[in-house]
Amino acid sequence: MPQMNMVQAINDALRLEMRRDSRVVILGEDVGKVGGVFRVTAGLFDEFGDDRVIDTPLSEGGIIGAAIGMALYGLVPVPEIQFSDFIFPAYDQIVSELAKYRYRSGGEYPAKIVIRTPVGGGIRGGHYHSQSPESLFIHVAGLKVVCPSNPADAKGLLLASIRDPDPVLFFEPKRIYRAAKGEVDEGDYTVPIGKAAIARDGKDVTVIAWGAMLYECLEAANQAAEQGVDVEVLDLRTLWPLDIEAIVASVKKTGRVVVVHEAPKTCGLGGEIVALINEKAFLHLEAPPARVTGFDTPFPYTLENEYLPLAHRILPTLLETARY
């Protein structure tokens, strides 16, 4: 199998699905001739033309509104929002319309849309290019939310998302677009939505993460091992619906859990995960669940590495939780 980074794997998934299904169309700012700001859609305009790879005006509400109309008429649009920070002008379209069509029509008008967008920090983008807004969409009934951490999962999850009957927010951690590399099957395959994966086996404490933070957790786990603490790392892959069975199984095994995410702590997904663990695995806990997250501030520019929950911030919490 060839080696790919995440940009190449996502591009491969889009190309494969556009060849397989003529209903699939891409639209967004600079996705056509330029190939996207991160070049994720490079080459697709040349192969499929401007009626299937559509450069749009700088109007996120217009992009998503147009995509919803396309979906209701039977197309399968995959709109790109250039940065997740720019998705908020389209929030009303997503929450008030897209998320509700299948329910309000009794299943007669499902809107099959996958909204792709880069998320997270680590590229010196400052507070308008570094946010992690996943919890704002997880809170909305009718949406699925996916965030892969490696190229093979990115391809398989994107193919699964495009074929899923529900609308999907597909968050791509831009920090590891080219840093995360691995073997990727060139053929057609899917990774099931709603299934987490164990990235590292361990017995003393579970750490739950997704996207770029998975690698920080793996590094912290390696450092913890040098101090005699064996950490299990669980990669959620799908943020909603959560694989609560995998979470509970890991917590029952270790008795301790730490959740790591880039978004601010207050009302972040980590809080919901901790609540679910308390509901479903409380009697198996040997220590209070802990969170290592971004701070409740706008995302900073010069202090980016202080804001992000990097390995040096994760390690003390792992050790404290394991030794509680």
Please give the structure tokens belonging to residue 30. 């600079």
Residues belonging to the active site: 129
Over residues 272-293, the mean pLDDT reads 98
The verdict on 124 and 87 lying in the same domain is yes
Beta strands 168-173 and 114-119, pairing class:
parallel
Which residue is associated with the tokens 């786990």? 221
- The overall average pLDDT reported for the chain is 97
Q: Tell me, yes or no, whether 129 lies in a domain.
A: yes
Helix (H, G, I), strand (E, B) or coil at 115: strand
What confidence score (pLDDT) does residue 143 get? Answer: 97
What confidence score (pLDDT) does residue 141 get? Answer: 96
Q: What is the three-state SS of 275-310? A: HHHHHHHHHHCCCCCEEEEECCCCCCCCCHHHHCCC
Cα(254)–Cα(248) distance, integer angstroms:
10
State residue 43 phi and psi, 5-degree precision.
Answer: 85, -15
CB-facing half-sphere around the CA of 221: CA atoms within 13 A: 25
pLDDT at 148 over 90: yes
Q: Tell me, yes or no, whether 35 lies in a domain.
A: yes
Q: What b/e readout covers 80-106, taking b as 16+ CB neighbours within 10 angstroms? A: bbbbbbbbeebbebbbebbbbbbeeee
pLDDT at 2 over 90: yes
Over residues 94-110, the mean pLDDT reads 93
Count: domains in the chain: 2
Q: Which domain holds residue 83?
A: 3-183
Q: What is the CATH number of the domain that holds 13?
A: 3.40.50.970
pLDDT at 1 over 90: no
The verdict on 69 and 144 lying in the same domain is yes
The verdict on 124 and 207 lying in the same domain is no
Work out the angle at residue 154's Cα, subtended by the Cα atoms of residues 311 and 168, and round it to the nearest 5 degrees: 105
- Identify the domain boundary among 183, 209, 226: 183
- Identify the domain boundary among 138, 160, 183: 183
The verdict on 158 and 89 lying in the same domain is yes
What confidence score (pLDDT) does residue 83 get? Answer: 96
Cα(196)–Cα(259) distance, integer angstroms:
14
The verdict on 212 and 251 lying in the same domain is yes
| Beta-bridge partners for 78 | 26
State residue 45 phi and psi, 5-degree precision.
Answer: -60, -45
Q: Which H/E stretch holds residue 206?
A: strand 205-209
What confidence score (pLDDT) does residue 124 get? Answer: 87
What confidence score (pLDDT) does residue 109 get? Answer: 86
Alpha carbon 48 to its chain's center? 27
Q: Tell me, yes or no, whether 311 lies in a domain.
A: yes
Over residues 198-224, the mean pLDDT reads 98
Q: What b/e readout covers 142-153, taking b as 16+ CB neighbours within 10 angstroms? A: bbbbbbbbbbbb
- Identify the domain boundary among 183, 215, 230: 183
Q: Tell me, yes or no, whether 190 lies in a domain.
A: no
Q: Tell me, yes or no, whether 191 lies in a domain.
A: no
Over residues 45-63, the mean pLDDT reads 97
Q: What is the CATH number of the domain that holds 299?
A: 3.40.50.920
The verdict on 136 and 220 lying in the same domain is no
Band of residue 153 on the pLDDT scale cut at 50, 70, 90: very high
The verdict on 57 and 123 lying in the same domain is yes
Q: Tell me, yes or no, whether 192 lies in a domain.
A: no
Helix (H, G, I), strand (E, B) or coil at 116: strand
The verdict on 158 and 245 lying in the same domain is no
With the CA atoms of 107, 111, 112 and 114 taken in that order, what torsion angle do they form, in degrees rounded to the nearest 10?
A: -140
Band of residue 14 on the pLDDT scale cut at 50, 70, 90: very high
Alpha carbon 321 to its chain's center? 26
The verdict on 240 and 155 lying in the same domain is no
Q: Tell me, yes or no, whether 165 lies in a domain.
A: yes
Q: Tell me, yes or no, whether 156 lies in a domain.
A: yes
Contact 119, 211 (CB under 8 A): yes
Over residues 5-17, the mean pLDDT reads 98
What confidence score (pLDDT) does residue 302 get? Answer: 87
**Quick one: DSSP state of residue 237?**
S
Could you tell me which of 216, 197, 45, 29 has the C-alpha nearest to residue 121?
216
What confidence score (pLDDT) does residue 115 get? Answer: 98
- Provide the whole-model pTM: 0.97
**Can you list the alpha helix ranges (DSSP code H) found in the chain?**
6-20, 44-48, 60-72, 91-92, 101-104, 134-138, 151-163, 213-225, 244-254, 269-281, 304-307, 311-322
The verdict on 66 and 147 lying in the same domain is yes
Interhelix angle 151-163/6-20, nearest 10 degrees: 30
What confidence score (pLDDT) does residue 165 get? Answer: 94
The verdict on 219 and 85 lying in the same domain is no
Work out the angle at residue 214's Cα, subtended by the Cα atoms of residues 141 and 284, and round it to the nearest 5 degrees: 70
What confidence score (pLDDT) does residue 230 get? Answer: 98
The verdict on 144 and 249 lying in the same domain is no
Please give the structure tokens belonging to residue 148. 């892969």
Please give the structure tokens belonging to residue 171. 């968050």
Residues 104-144 have pLDDT tens digits of 999 888 899 999 999 999 888 888 999 999 999 999 999 99
